[in-house]
Amino acid sequence: MGGVPSISIYVNELIQSYDVQNLIRVGTCGAIQKDVKVRDVILASTSSTDSQMNRMVFGGIDYAPPTASFHLLKNAYDTGLEKGLSLRVGNVFTSDSFYRDNTKELLILLDQYNILAIEMETTALYTLAAKFNRNALSVLTVSDHMITGEETSSEDRQTTFNDMIEVSLEAAIK
Ligand SMILES: O=P(O)(O)O[C@H]1O[C@H](CO)[C@@H](O)[C@H]1O
Ligand SMILES: O=c1cc[nH]c(=O)[nH]1
């Protein structure tokens, strides 16, 4: 999608111009934990980050952790189970960098602290949803594995990524 600055514009405008109540991000992520597989669907219950956004907003306070709406999370979880998806719920890491020099060291740290996967937007979505008292959820399909190097093919992306879209739409209307 384009990272924290980009999603922050979308979320601010969806809320302030269109009064959107439920914001669900569907996107991809790179798995970190060994038992998270490509094509798994991750429901981000919470998000850690290296983005400066929350530091700018909260100064010295660690506003943590930005969290999903329980209602949307539960609906998405129930729907995903009904559809037989391989679902994971947990902490994701929202990074400001896709390419970085210290990837190896970062992955060891994130793995040790049970972070499931890396992506680039969830923290901003959850923090803004909290600010405006809206419901938010990130639903992420694992497109590649940061440790094993396994990747989804373009056919995979077209077919399996539909599952997370269906889960998200049903979670919003349940
Ligand atoms: O699948 P999308 O939504 O684009 O999200 C992921 O893919 C992008 C990186 O290629 C980042 O924005 C990351 O969060
Ligand atoms: O490895 C990945 C895959 C998707 N999105 C990311 O930010 N990283």
89-138 tens-digit pLDDT: 999 999 999 999 999 999 999 999 999 999 999 999 999 999 999 999 99
CATH number corresponding to 3-173: 3.40.50.1580
Per-residue pLDDT tens digits for 59-71: 988 887 689 999 9
28 CB near ligand 2 (under 6 Å): yes
Q: Say what the pLDDT of residue 157 is.
A: 84
Q: Can you state the angle between helices 154-173 and 70-82, rounded to 10 degrees?
A: 120
ipTM value for the complex: 0.95
- 50, 144, 156, 163: the catalytic one is 144
* pLDDT category of residue 160 using cuts at 50, 70 and 90: confident
CA atoms lying within 13 Å on the CB side of residue 44: 36
- What is residue 9's DSSP assignment? H
CB 95 within 8 A of CB 121: no
| Residue whose CA is at the smallest distance from ligand 2 atom 8 | 30
pLDDT mean across residues, the chain? 95
Which residue among 1, 26, 28, 115 has the greatest number of ligand 2 atoms within 8 angstroms of its CB, and so is best to mutate?
28
As a whole number of angstroms, the distance between CA 60 and CA 158 comes to 43
CA of 61 to the centre of ligand 1 (A): 28
**Domain spans of the chain?**
3-173
Q: State percent of the chain over pLDDT 70.
A: 99
- 144 given a catalytic annotation: yes
Best CA proximity match to 44, nearest among 109, 150, 147, 124: 124
